[in-house]
Amino acid sequence: EAGVVQSPRYKIIEKKQPVAFWCNPISGHNTLYWYRQNLGQGPELLIRYENEEAVDDSQLPKDRFSAERLKGVDSTLKIQPAELGDSAVYLCASSRTSEDEQYFGPGTRLTVT
């Protein structure tokens, strides 16, 4: 069974530029999560989807971050414009339901210069 796929793996951009991350969850997983992980810290949730509905986006900085999950499968997380403090690893995870264990992708390491 294929795992969670994320792209790109690495991204370097200048501040104020836009950036987008893509995630393909495990087949059959209805719940999709985006996390941000800073160096030396655990992942912190940004947004959770149940199928195509964003059911928890309370931690998403909505002034510059946006996300979508079209047709309840793939998802895209966008930052516009990026700031220096956005440098981190962005992780996508999926689970069968919100109560099941989550499986993580390899992450996208974002560097904002």
Position 105 contacts another protein (CB under 8 A): yes
Shortest Cβ 15–another protein spacing (Å): 24
Work out which of 91, 94, 110, 112 binds another protein, going by CB under 8 A.
91
Determine contact, residues 71/52, Cβ cutoff 8 Å: yes
Position 56 contacts another protein (CB under 8 A): yes
Shortest Cβ 52–another protein spacing (Å): 16
Position 58 contacts another protein (CB under 8 A): yes
Shortest Cβ 16–another protein spacing (Å): 27
Contacting another protein within 21-40 (CB under 8 A): 31, 33, 40
Determine contact, residues 92/29, Cβ cutoff 8 Å: no
Handedness of CA 71, 72, 73, 78 (dihedral sign): positive
Work out which of 93, 94, 110, 112 binds another protein, going by CB under 8 A.
93
Find, among 84, 83, 82, 69, the residue nearest to 33 by Cα. 69
Strands 44-50 and 65-68: unpaired
What six digits make up the tokens of 108? Answer: 């996208």
